[in-house]
Amino acid sequence: MSPSPQTDQAAVADTQQWLHQAVIGLNLCPFAKGVVAKGQVRYVVCQAADPEAVLQVLQTELQHLADADPAELDTTLLIAPQLLPNFLDFNGFLFDCDAVLQSLGLEGVLQIADFHPRYHFAGVDPQDISNFTNRAPHPTLHLLREDSIDKAVAAFPSAAAIYDTNIATLQDLGHTGWAALQLPQPKP
């Protein structure tokens, strides 16, 4: 049974709500606002649960981003709602994603960042609020241009402090404040 366009639209809407309210709204990524405002973000939904099928879409999307005019398309969010609900499985899958990037010869040109509804940093309690810096409503692969990252970092002198600032922001916000954002919740 193939997913309906409404299912894909819901996954994009969930992701856009998270992007606007959490990532941009809390300034978790000071570089996101510009590309979103310019309409330079591509949203792609892959409803496959099979990691190999997602890797095929990833390969296509990496090449698409590499071939696109950076003034038109700066970044892609590959949203995979059915993919690996267990974070540790998803985390292991990222090695395969990097292998696809390398096989295309795009290492150093593009990179892949990851988000997951159950994201947790190593050595941190899974329920610690710091994990929410990388929690999205659905498993998501963020495809970025290395040149864009370099330009953004050059324009933002304290880029190295973003991680620490994000942790402090979420600690100030707390679980109650995060819940008040009323972001889409992952499936159980």
Whole-number pLDDT of residue 152:
83
What range does the domain containing 164 cover? 5-180
Judge whether 185 lies within some domain.
Answer: no
pLDDT of residue 77: 98
Tell me, yes or no, whether 157 lies in a domain: yes
Q: Please, which residues have CB within 8 angstroms of residue 96's CB and are 6 or more apart in sequence? A: 51, 55
- What is the number of domains present in the chain? 1
Please, which pLDDT band fits residue 160 given cuts at 50, 70 and 90?
Answer: confident
Task: Report if residue 187 sits inside a domain.
Answer: no
Could you tell me the two tokens for 17? 């709500």
| Structural domain includes residue 101 | yes
CA distance 136 to 144: 17
Across 129-148, average pLDDT: 96
Residue 186 inside a domain? The answer is no
Q: CA-CA distances (angstroms) from residue 132 to 47, 114, 121?
A: 23, 12, 10
Structure tokens at 152: 């953004």
> What band does 4 get if pLDDT is binned at 50, 70 and 90?
low
* Residue range 85-112, pLDDT digits in tens: 999 999 999 999 999 999 999 999 999 9
pLDDT tier for residue 1 given thresholds of 50, 70 and 90: very low
CB within 8 Å of 36: residues ≥ 6 apart = 19, 20, 24
Query: Per-residue pLDDT for 172 more than 90?
Result: yes
Sign for the pseudo-dihedral over CA of 4, 6, 10, 13: positive
